[in-house]
Structure 1
Amino acid sequence: MSNAKGDRRERELVNRLDEAGFAVMRAPASGSATTRELPDVLAGNGEVFYAIEAKSSAGDPIYLSGEEVEALIYFSRNFGAKARVGVRFDREDWYFFHPGDLYVTDGGNYRVKKETAVADGTDFDEFVGRSVRTRLGERTDD
């Protein structure tokens, strides 16, 4: 996210993770501040560590480039964190996905539709361990 609204949404996510007991850090301007591709947010609570690429949209759907997702996975593996894509649509909460669970377009990019986020995404409370929601086929790996 590189716009004012996106920056605001990232700060919102950081604050919510902090309130949930996570140590959290936002990488300002993500990849533009450095030549290295960095996730938008790093968060951990001593038990689980996440590298999060955060995206928000007033509309539908949200797209991520193949390079963004590859960089997230690469960083996460080297850092020892779980790679997650966090999406937030207007009038909805944050939802999280393992990169391998995202829809891949014919062009090699990734897409999340609002209805997919609400139906299949991990909601914020579940993400931070406040609730457990069991779904068939849910990923348990990194």
Structure 2
Amino acid sequence: MDNARRRRGFEAERELVRKLWSKGFAVIRAPASGARTRLAAYPDIVAIFKGRIYAIEVKYRRDNAPIYIDRTQLEKLIEFSRRAGATPLIAVKRPHKGWKLIPIDQVKETNTGRIRIDDEVLNNGVSLDEFIAIVTNTGLRKFMK
């Protein structure tokens, strides 16, 4: 991966951390995320809200091309989530389209064993604002004024 893509990925991770933190989540960005760790299973971000834990793999894509994830990366996210009692999610950031959060049971596996996230999968995900409203139960409060 070239340095520019890597930098954009790190910037997306930091942006998501800031947004979740500002909405009341306890959030950490895993210092080893993006590193070539073979044995450890680290998600990019761990976000916690009132005891509910979310293990999040972050992806950034400038264009509308599908996103591919290696099966082993997804398996590590699942294993970390199992050990932590976390909900595993994939967060995708696209410029001018914002964030989409996708439960891992909604992703598609290709015949080569890679995971594919295309527009159909993204359209079934929830926006960051929707995710925050669901988790913090702020959705109904907006309408009860």
The question of a shared fold, defined as TM-score above 0.5 by the shorter chain, is answered with yes
Structure 1 residue aligned with 2:131:
127
Deviations along 1:29-61, one digit per CA (max 9) or x if unpaired, are 415275412000000111421000000111211
- State the structure with more CA Rg: 2
- Tell me the secondary structure at the aligned position of residue 35 of structure 2: helix
Output aligned runs, 1:1-142, within 5 Å: 3-30=6-33, 32=35, 34=37, 35-59=39-63, 60-114=65-119, 116-117=121-122, 119-129=123-133, 130-131=138-139
Quick check: which one's helix share is greater?
2
Residues in 2 aligned to 1:116 and 1:73: alpha-carbon distance in whole angstroms: 18
Structure 2 residue aligned with 1:140:
none
Point out where structure 1 has 5 or more consecutive residues left out of the alignment.
133-142
What is the one-letter code of the residue matched to 2:96? R
Is the Cα–Cα contact under 8 Å of residues 55 and 88 in structure 2 kept in the other structure? yes
**Identity across aligned pairs (percent)?**
37
Is the Cα–Cα contact under 8 Å of residues 97 and 121 in structure 1 kept in the other structure? yes
What is the one-letter code of the residue matched to 1:38? Y
Residues in 2 aligned to 1:75 and 1:105: alpha-carbon distance in whole angstroms: 23
Residues in 2 aligned to 1:113 and 1:31: alpha-carbon distance in whole angstroms: 22
Is the Cα–Cα contact under 8 Å of residues 27 and 48 in structure 2 kept in the other structure? yes
Residues in 1 aligned to 2:111 and 2:139: alpha-carbon distance in whole angstroms: 35
- Tell me the secondary structure at the aligned position of residue 21 of structure 1: coil
Residues in 1 aligned to 2:139 and 2:120: alpha-carbon distance in whole angstroms: 21
Q: Any runs of at least 4 consecutive aligned residues in structure 1 with deviations exceeding 2 A, and if so which? A: 129-132
What is the one-letter code of the residue matched to 1:14? V
Aligned residue-pair number: 131
Is the Cα–Cα contact under 8 Å of residues 89 and 114 in structure 1 kept in the other structure? no
What is the one-letter code of the residue matched to 2:11? R
